[in-house]
Amino acid sequence: MAAKIRPVYKLITSETLITGIGNQPIRNGAVLFKDDHIINSGPKKTVIPQNDENIERVDYGNSTILPGLIDTHVHLIGVGDGRVGDNLATLPDEILTLQASENARAHLISGVTTVRDCGSKNMTTLMLRKAYGLHINNGPNLVLSGRPAAIIGGHLNYFGIEATGIDECRAAVRQLFKDGADFVKITASGGSTRTSLPLRPSFTIAELKAIIGEAHNFGKHAAAHCVNSQSILNCLEAGIDTIIHGRYVEPNGSRVYRDDITERIVKQKVFVNYNMGGINHRTQTLQVKKDKRIITQSEQLELDGLLFWTDIDYQFYSRMRSEGVQMVCGSDSTWGHYKMGQFSYEIEGHVAAGMSPMEAITAATIDAAKSLMQENRLGSLEPGKQADILVVKGDASSNIENLRNVIHIYQSGLQIDTANN
């Protein structure tokens, strides 16, 4: 278990500071925090108080201080070894809860201080949060959907609440919030689930309106898995807050860019979690095997497919961003072969698709917090906010890969001891 060490007043300085406010880093910056909250941040000369005899100081030198990262899309109970969710769901809840604990800690020590879990089995992740409250274990801040909302036989139905009709959909949302969910995850199209249909939408518009409207009645947000164009349109019509995946795919499987959908996403100010990390990580892994000449024939076919579809994804992503779509970082780990603790690949994927390092960091901090309705508490180093802070070697504002080089993590002002991990 990662131990935590609490300072009283602490002043940390570095050559580069990213506060989450504005689009430029601060050179020779400082952050002052006490207990669990930020007191001040900015240029060093403006942050250091006159009477500083009770302040613990740490100068990190050639490093970057930035807000703790926020991963808006994880599946904590997964393994990340390529197994499909249908098989994962057969494991007992007790094992899945232990797996969730390990995954959460792996993400935390890599610099991710908040995760949004987008679908788990039964009460597994909710029990994990309860364990945190009892100080049995610790990990990142958890924003949880609990079970996802699915149609009968739909994507993730083996984890979720299956609902048919307006009344059942409303009742499902009420049950989820009774369980302790923070938001609703909707599988609005098919996906990798064997009994689902990826090229077709799932819920009707009336059912989606019932789910999303009920979430809004509770002051919560709703995020929807959409891997085809019609499912995105249906969710937009129903008032969705976040589109997950957001791939434009026609009923015949063709990829056709949809200006009409992009225009509605922008007009309705809907966040899009495009999921770049899994593809980026898997492509790099297979490319290394190819370079070492140890790639199998099936892996080569997989790599060829990934490179082909990634090129299209980058084109669509670039057009969506240029037209004003608000992208946020969410890895979708542990789906497929993407283990937790490797969120940097998601952020690097956004840079590869056209973002600057600073834009990508914003998409993984303050913009991510906004998509979770947590921007008043998380996502930037502003006075009064929770002291979730990441320190990495080098200048992350110019080289995004420096996010891999973690020095220290502070969560709620507590320095995370990663020695036992």
DSSP letter for each residue of 355-375: --HHHHHHHTTHHHHHHTT-T
What is the structure's pLDDT at 53?
A: 63
> How many percent of the chain have pLDDT more than 70?
97
Share of the chain above pLDDT 90, in %: 89
Confidence grade of residue 2 (pLDDT, cut at 50, 70, 90): low
- Confidence (pLDDT) at 417: 80
Q: Could you give the C-alpha distances from 47 to 28, 38, 343, 396, in angstroms and in order?
A: 11, 11, 31, 22
| 331 Cα distance to chain centroid | 5
In 3D space, the residue among 404, 379, 380 whose CA is nearest the CA of residue 394 turns out to be 404
Take residue 28 and report the two structure tokens written for it.
């020779």
- Predicted local distance difference test score (pLDDT) of residue 363: 98
CB-CB contact of 224 with 235 (8 Å)? yes
297 exposure class (CB count in 10 Å sphere: 0-12, 13-18, 19+): exposed
Amino acid 22: pLDDT:
85
Whether 338 has a pLDDT exceeding 70, the answer reads: yes
Measured CA distances, 77 to 7, 29, 128, 236, 335 (Å) = 33, 38, 10, 29, 10
Mean pLDDT of 23-42: 95
Band (pLDDT 50/70/90 cuts) for residue 3 is: low
Q: Across the chain, which distance is largest between two alpha carbons, in Å?
A: 69
Q: Given pLDDT bands bounded at 50, 70 and 90, which one contains residue 52?
A: low
The type of residue at 196 is: S
| Lookup: tokens for 416 | 């995370």
Average confidence (pLDDT) over 7-22: 91
What single string gives the DSSP state of each residue in 224-293?
A: EEE-SHHHHHHHHHHT-SEEEE-----TTS-----HHHHHHHHHTT-EEE---HHHHHHHHHHHHHHHTT
| Predicted local distance difference test score (pLDDT) of residue 71 | 98
Q: What is the 3-state secondary structure (H, E, C) of 134-186?
A: CCCCCCCEEEECCCCEECCCCCCCCCCEECCCHHHHHHHHHHHHHHCCCCEEE
C-alpha closest to that of 220 among 133, 144, 275: 144
Mean pLDDT of 336-362: 95
Q: What average pLDDT does this structure show over 207-216?
A: 98
3 state SS of 4: strand
In order of start, what are the domains of the chain with their CATH numbers? 4-67+380-416 (2.30.40.10), 69-342 (3.20.20.140)
| CA 39/CA 364 separation, integer angstroms | 22
User: Which amino acid makes up residue 195?
Assistant: T
Reported as a pLDDT band with limits 50, 70 and 90, residue 253 is very high
* pLDDT tens digit sequence for 273-327: 999 888 888 999 999 999 999 999 999 999 999 899 899 999 999 999 999 999 9
Tell me the mean pLDDT in the region 62-69.
98
* Local confidence band at 140 (pLDDT 50, 70, 90 cut-offs): very high
Mean pLDDT of 206-223: 98
Please answer whether residues 140 and 410 qualify as being in contact, where contact means their C-beta atoms are separated by less than 8 angstroms. Answer: no
Rounded mean pLDDT of 19-47? Answer: 95
**Does the pLDDT of residue 420 top 60, yes or no?**
no
Report CA dihedral (109, 110, 113, 118) to the nearest 10 degrees: -110
Strand 4-5 versus strand 414-416 pairing type:
antiparallel
Mean pLDDT of the 250-268 span: 97
Mean pLDDT over 205-225 rounds to 98
Both tokens of 102, joined, read 């390990």
User: For the chain, how are helix, strand and coil distributed in percent, rounded to 5?
Assistant: 35, 20, 45
Total number of residues shown for the chain: 421
CA 78 to chain centre: 15
pLDDT of residue 102: 97
Structure confidence at residue 280 (pLDDT)? 86
Q: What is the pTM of this model?
A: 0.95
Q: Residue 389: pLDDT above 90?
A: yes
Q: What is the DSSP letter of 34?
A: E
Local confidence band at 418 (pLDDT 50, 70, 90 cut-offs)? confident
CA 229 to chain centre: 22
CA 36 to mean position of chain CA atoms? 23
